[in-house]
Amino acid sequence: MNPIASEERLACARAGGPDEGPRLDSRVTVLRGVGGERAAQMERLGLRTVGDLFWHRPARYEDRRKFTPIRDVLLGTPVTVCGRIIAVGNHRFRKGTKSCFEFILDDGTARLHCRWWNLPFLEKFYSVGNEVLAYGKPNSLRPRTMDHPDAEKIEAGDDERVHFGRIVPVYPLTEGMPQRTLRWIIWHGIDRFLPHLPETGPWRTPELLGEPAAALGRREAVQMLHFPAELPEAEHARQRLALDELAALQREIQGRRQRLNLKAPGLPCGGDNRLMRPFLLGLPFKLTGAQTRVLREIRADLAGLHPMRRLLQGDVGSGKTLVAACAALMTVESGYNVALMAPTELLAEQLHRVLDRALGSLGIGVGLRTSNTRQEPDAGSVPELGSVWVGTHALIQKAVEFPRLGLVIIDEQHKFGVAQRETLLRKGNFPHLLVMTATPIPRTLGLTLYGDLDVSLLDELPQGRGRVRTHVRTPDTLPKVWLFVARQLAAGRQAYVVYPRVSESEHDDVKSVTREFEKVRDALAPHATAMVHGRMPSVERTRIMDAFRDGRVQVLMATNVIEVGVDVPNATVMVIENAGQFGLAQLHQLRGRIGRGSHESHCILVEGERTEEARERLKVLAETTDGFAIAEADLRLRGPGELVGRDQSGLPGFRFANLACDGKLLEAARASVRRELAAETAKFAVKPAASTSAQ
């Protein structure tokens, strides 16, 4: 390359010369009217470069083609009005510590009072004679009043096209940045730089045929997002940009999977049935149809060409542990070791006990590893067999090694992060992976979080389970609730009583298990009551769990440490106090602890809090026991971040996509990326010699 020519080009670019177009990664200061202070404000909004302007999504839109006459405003209905200020005042009260700034707008039809509390500096911005737009909900009609409206002063020389006579964007702001200024900056930024945004064109996927969003190019979508001609255009634009986001993520997820398949052969872990057959024959029940189907899928994977990456989704009580045990058996038969990771010590200990009993008799060593316990698997009597390690996070510590690791199983996957899963996998040479989750997740979320996994569904509960009835009660009915529980105990059943806290907090009156213990024990005497929570020594906890399992303890008072995995079929009652403190998924999990035997079970949700959202949650729970329906409701009520736990989730922060409502877009993006990758693979694959067919 000619060094001088490139020097020249650089100089040209610095001077904004004619050859080089303006670049999207230029700082916002290249824009007219943006100096150092504005740039600092914009940086607080995430706007560093001119390209960032495109993606600053309006919080809402205002139709300024027509204003509502002040005379016609209605109580509680949001409107935009336009008028002139005829009076201004700033009242101070409470010895000057509080204030109320107010002006009166007149538009010729009527007057409107606009008020702001404790923002005295507004006084500097508005004076009599100013023309002002105000958006808000009138909260009184006598006189007509709006508290804390969004107000915007109309200045002489304002660009008509940007602020009026159209649908205008209203952006998220930061201190010191007026709406009008940012709108103006973005308008001009788009005007000048949009032609330099790489165009990606309309989406021509058959899945989205006829969808207005798919017909848009990227540039068109950006333009419409900010300055739509009609309101629906803004939504189409959002969807179009969401498609790009979803596709980018699918490309990453599916690409990762494809690379794994290319570089790693699957370890042969399909087994030969010599242990499986006696194991299944020894079970006191038959596998459900779903279990049989899923095990077939798993065996095909374990014996397949590539490492298994499979998600087993099954509602609480659908029998995932048994599936895990069978997958472990296949692996052990093949001479490989298995690591099974569970999120809590309680669950790890329980899994260890179950597997040790089930597999130990076949000569398989089952070890346990938690931060408190370390129990080596007994060297089995058959030397060519592998062994099974059960444990908590302790399994992924640096020093822990698993030779010949064939299969990694993760129970209650939603409690772990992607990083933890990967750490455990790296302890072997591309072992197979089975992750299990009892919190069904909506499909959109599943494809986003676990898009690189194949999914098996345990959609059938074992026969002979009693029904679970759910009741919502208020705290004043507790005496009756305890009477009901006592009757169940007298009939030989057992009960859980669950609290959101270990001990009380000074900030609220949410009940805690330690505070309520004596009260409940006395109410349910003479039945034996004990308590478990996360802040007690694990030896103690194990002792109490054993006593509950054996029936020596009839009432178990607990925090949500019992949320996952605990399996005591004789427990048929669960009372959850301050139930509104728990999320839907958590409540569903908790409730999954009962209804495991043949007796009818009862879940009593005591509603301590009266927020609308909490009540809505309890209502969903009372209406259905279907985990998938509950998950969809949860996504709708709380959004994806809350649903999976933002920090652990590996959930991308979408700007435009919304997993609660963009299912169709996601499916389309996924299908399209899949075709794209398949076409690429075909291109790189060795071409069959063309000459043979030509002859």
Smallest separation (angstroms) from ligand ADP to the CB of 289: 9
Under the criterion CB under 6 A, does residue 596 sit at the interface with ligand ADP? yes
Under the criterion CB under 6 A, does residue 378 sit at the interface with ligand ADP? no
Pick from Mg ion, ligand ADP, none: which does 287 bind, CB < 5 to 8 A by kind? ligand ADP
Question: CA 262 to CA 245: how far, in whole Å?
Answer: 26
Helices (H) and strands (E) in the chain, counts: 23, 23
Q: What is the DSSP letter of 580?
A: G
Instruction: Give CA separation, 204 vs 213, 217, 429, 632, 693, in Å.
Output: 11, 11, 41, 29, 33
Pick from Mg ion, ligand ADP, none: which does 316 bind, CB < 5 to 8 A by kind? ligand ADP
* DSSP string for 638-680: H-HHHHH-HHHH-----SS--TTT-HHHHHHHHHHHHHHHHHH
Under the criterion CB under 6 A, does residue 625 sit at the interface with ligand ADP? no
Under the criterion CB under 6 A, does residue 545 sit at the interface with ligand ADP? no
Under the criterion CB under 6 A, does residue 322 sit at the interface with ligand ADP? yes
Q: Which residues contact 498 (CB under 8 A, 6 or more apart)?
A: 513, 557, 558, 559, 560, 562, 574, 575, 576, 577, 590
Q: Which residue type, as a one-letter code, is found at position 569? A: P
List contacts with Mg ion (CB under 5 A).
320, 565
Smallest separation (angstroms) from ligand ADP to the CB of 565: 6
Question: CA 506 to CA 223: how far, in whole Å?
Answer: 52
Under the criterion CB under 6 A, does residue 328 sit at the interface with ligand ADP? no
3-state secondary structure 72-127: HCCCCCCEEEEEEEEEEEEEEECCCCEEEEEEEEECCCCEEEEEEECCHHHHHCCC
Smallest separation (angstroms) from ligand ADP to the CB of 678: 35
Smallest separation (angstroms) from ligand ADP to the CB of 341: 14
Question: CA 8 to CA 635: how far, in whole Å?
Answer: 55
Give me the residues paired with residue 147 across strands: 115
Under the criterion CB under 6 A, does residue 319 sit at the interface with ligand ADP? yes
3-state helix, strand, coil in the chain (%, to 5): 40, 20, 40
Taking CB under 6 A as the rule, which mask of x and - marks residues 427-466 in contact with ligand ADP?
A: -----------x-----------------------x----
Smallest separation (angstroms) from Mg ion to the CB of 568: 13
| 365 vs 565, beta carbon nearer Mg ion | 565
CB 179 within 8 A of CB 132: no
Pick from ligand ADP, Mg ion, none: which does 318 bind, CB < 5 to 8 A by kind? ligand ADP
Under the criterion CB under 6 A, does residue 567 sit at the interface with ligand ADP? yes
Smallest separation (angstroms) from ligand ADP to the CB of 464: 7
Pick from ligand ADP, Mg ion, none: which does 288 bind, CB < 5 to 8 A by kind? ligand ADP
Instruction: Give CA separation, 490 vs 235, 484, 485, 593, in Å.
Output: 60, 10, 9, 20
Report phi then psi at 308, rounded to 5: -70, 140
Taking CB under 6 A as the rule, which mask of x and - marks residues 234-273 in contact with ligand ADP?
A: ----------------------------------------
Smallest separation (angstroms) from ligand ADP to the CB of 319: 3
| 329 vs 342, beta carbon nearer Mg ion | 342
Q: Which residue type, as a one-letter code, is found at position 477? A: T
Contacts with ligand ADP by CB under 6 A: the residue count is 17
Under the criterion CB under 6 A, does residue 627 sit at the interface with ligand ADP? no
| 85 vs 351, beta carbon nearer ligand ADP | 351
Among 80, 223, 313, 321, binds ligand ADP (CB under 6 A): 321
Smallest separation (angstroms) from ligand ADP to the CB of 389: 19
| Residue 483, helix vs strand vs coil | helix
Question: CA 351 to CA 320: how far, in whole Å?
Answer: 11
